[in-house]
């Protein structure tokens, strides 16, 4: 059976509103979620940004979670909130252009990563070894920098997804294209060092897309620019591929479809992701009301029961990486 990993991009409030004043009120809603995870012996991985490291409440709760080994704290690089900064578009603090890490020179990525790593260790008492890049801005250059900074595992790859149409730098080329990737883990190797990539779990669950990886890749690459494929999507493949992520349209039946598909193809890890701001009403575009938060908790509770019944064990990102090295 696969291992289950729940990864939380732990960051400032409503980061879809670019350039807004930074605040981290959503962190106050973490304890309820942590309590739910502990009820089912689930160890979440909180991937934290620089602004979270500076918050006293965050320092208090995450230090305790780390000390008692109830959760892992990893790194989540938002290039617009982690120094160093420069006085030009895309490089400033809290810049309205939320640049992808892949758009920066390697020396700046390295400096930002070192600063974020130090922020986390100083704030929570333990050095991070797991990583996810803000806006999924990841490539082999970033992987090499992570390896050189002693990171063990990344979870930035989002299979079948192309972020190149999403703007970062004002004159940039947008984000990475993960259209050729699947949800299976793989390794970036650099001389004698390596980094394990455990992608976010994103799977086609509808025939024939789930029967042929090559067909699925071709379909997802072309669907936005082909009127016939758009028609097929509207009729048969509306939500394909499915993310293991609690979007508002997701329900437990769809989650069970993903898990069943993962078991069928012998996927070793199930990686769920969402944002810490989704735990606070009105703090993200995905969860605007108290009712939507209660629906989220109900969905997660039922999912965790399903995992326990099917003897699917939960691990953190670094635990998963270390298990692959044994």
Could you read off the pLDDT of 98-126 as tens digits, one per residue? 999 999 999 999 999 999 999 999 999 99
* Domain regions of the chain by residue span: 3-202+243-255+268-325
**Coil, helix or strand at residue 46:** strand
Distance CA 74, CA 158 (A): 18
pLDDT in tens, 166-185: 999 998 999 999 999 999 99
Across residues 153-160, what is the average pLDDT?
98
Helix (H) or strand (E) holding 188: strand 186-190
What pLDDT is recorded for position 39?
98
Check the CA dihedral 47-49-53-59 and report its sign.
negative
pLDDT in tens, 241-270: 999 999 988 999 999 999 999 999 999 999
Distance CA 320, CA 307 (A): 17
Could you count the other beta carbons within 10 Å of the beta carbon of residue 159? Answer: 23
Distances (CA, A) of 185 to 33, 38, 326: 27, 26, 15
The residues, any chain, with a CB within 8 Å of residue 106's CB and separated by 6 or more, are 141, 145
Across residues 82-87, what is the average pLDDT?
98
Give the confidence band of 312 by pLDDT, cuts at 50, 70, 90: very high
Please report, in angstroms and rounded to a whole number, the separation of the first and last CA atoms in the chain.
Answer: 18
* pLDDT surpasses 90 at 301: yes
Topology given in CATH for the domain delimited by 3-202+243-255+268-325? TIM Barrel (3.20.20)
Q: Is residue 208 reached through a cis peptide bond, with omega within 30 degrees of 0 on the bond before it? A: yes
């Amino acid at each position: 059976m696969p291992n289950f990993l729940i990864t939380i991009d732990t960051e400032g409030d409503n980061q879809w509103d670019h350039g807004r004043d930074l605040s981290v009120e959503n962190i106050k809603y973490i304890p309820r979620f942590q309590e739910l995870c502990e009820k089912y012996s689930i160890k979440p991985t909180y991937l934290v940004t620089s602004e979270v490291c500076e918050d006293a409440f965050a320092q208090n709760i995450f230090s305790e979670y780390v000390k008692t080994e109830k959760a892992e704290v990893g790194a989540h690089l938002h290039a617009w909130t982690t120094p160093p900064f420069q006085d030009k578009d895309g490089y400033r603090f809290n810049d309205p252009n939320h640049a992808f890490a892949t758009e920066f020179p390697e020396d700046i990525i390295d400096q930002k990563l070192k600063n974020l790593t130090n922020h986390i260790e100083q704030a929570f008492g333990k050095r991070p070894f797991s990583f996810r890049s803000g806006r999924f801005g990841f490539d082999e250059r970033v992987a090499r920098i992570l390896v050189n900074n002693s990171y063990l595992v990344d979870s930035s790859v989002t299979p079948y997804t192309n972020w190149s149409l999403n703007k970062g730098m004002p004159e940039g080329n947008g984000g990475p294209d993960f259209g050729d990737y699947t949800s299976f883990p793989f390794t970036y190797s650099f001389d004698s060092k390596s980094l394990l990539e455990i992608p976010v779990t994103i799977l086609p669950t509808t025939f024939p897309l789930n029967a042929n990886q090559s067909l699925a890749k071709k379909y997802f690459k072309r669907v936005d620019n082909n009127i016939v494929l758009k028609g097929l999507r509207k009729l048969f493949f509306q939500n394909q591929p499915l993310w293991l992520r609690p979007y508002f349209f997701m329900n437990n039946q769809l989650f069970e479809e993903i898990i069943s598909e993962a078991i069928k193809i012998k996927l070793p890890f199930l990686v769920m992701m969402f944002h810490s701001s989704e735990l606070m009403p009105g703090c993200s575009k995905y969860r605007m009301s108290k009712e939507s938060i209660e629906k989220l908790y109900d969905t997660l509770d039922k999912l965790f029961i399903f995992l326990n019944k099917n003897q699917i064990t939960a691990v953190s990102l670094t635990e998963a990486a270390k298990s692959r090295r044994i």
